[in-house]
Structure formats: structure tokens, C-alpha cells
Amino acid sequence: MKNLILVMALATLSFAGMVEFGAHGGLLLPSGDVGNAYSTSFMLGANLLVHMPIYAIEGSISYGILQPEEDVDDFSGSLIPILAGIRTYSGPIFYGGGAGMYMSSVSVGSVDTSDEEFGLYGNLGMIFPTGTMDIEGSIKYHLVDFDTDKAWLSITAGAYF
């Protein structure tokens, strides 16, 4: 049922106005208590941007490959933030924020853990229009479970088509 609602919402948004789809890559920087467990990690993802007259609705899904702070044998970890929010522009600079679902999974040897938590994020970036696409760079501050001890900073660059 959730998937059907998501597909209907995306279909509605894609016909609502100026819609851009894109891809991004970047870094996840842990802070707070997660900074004691993880080091800087890489992330890849996809974006959706729906332009309105004064603001834009943004959405993204990313896959972060978590790296442990110390060397750990048989470590595998990921963080998947699914974000939705609003941004406004001041020339090429944009700022905004929204909410997200943060899904994490960590496996060390034969021990597997996974977690899903809600959170908030703030966003600041710049968009560079080119002939056929827009290039974007952004910095997001993620408060997972509304807790500064579970905060992440993401620095991404990408393109909208």
C-alpha cells in the first residue's frame, strides 16, 4: 500500500510543473556519537525537484556506504536516507529543509543490526544552470531521530536532467 501511494504521488508531481530528475554523489561526515563509530563515507543517490513560482519541492534517496572508524574484520554497513522537503532560492543559492526516513544496516561477522528512524535536515547549496542540465552542490545537516548525537553532514554534487 505504501508503494502504491508513493508511485501515485510521484506520478502526480511529475505532471505538476517544471520537474527535474537527477543524480548525486558525495560524502557523509558523522558527528556526535556516530563520529566515534564511523569515519567519512561515500554516498550515491537520485534526486527529484519540482519547481513552483517561489519555492521548489525536493526529494532524494541516497545510499551511503558506511566506513568504520577502526579496522573491523567482516564489516558491512549502509545508511539510506529518504528525504522530502522544500527549498527557496536567492539567485543561484538555495536553502531549505525537510524530513526524512533514515534506514541503517550494519553487519559485523555474524551479527546483523538494522534500524529505521525519522529525522530532520537543513539544506544549503548552489545551482549552476547549463544549456541542457543544472549542476548542483549542496550541504545538508541531518538530525537522525531528532538527536545531535546521531547527526550527519552530507556534502554532495550532482546534475539534474
| pLDDT tens sequence across 38-70 | 899 999 999 999 988 889 999 999 999 999 988
Q: What is the CATH number of domain 20-160?
A: 2.40.160.20
Would the pLDDT of 97 be above 60?
Answer: yes
pTM over 0.75: yes
Q: Which residue would you say has higher pLDDT here, 117 or 32?
A: 117
What are the start-end ranges of the H helices in 73-157?
A: none
The conformation of residue 1, written as its DSSP 8-state character, comes to -
Q: Using an 8 Å Cβ cutoff, are 149 and 33 in contact?
A: yes
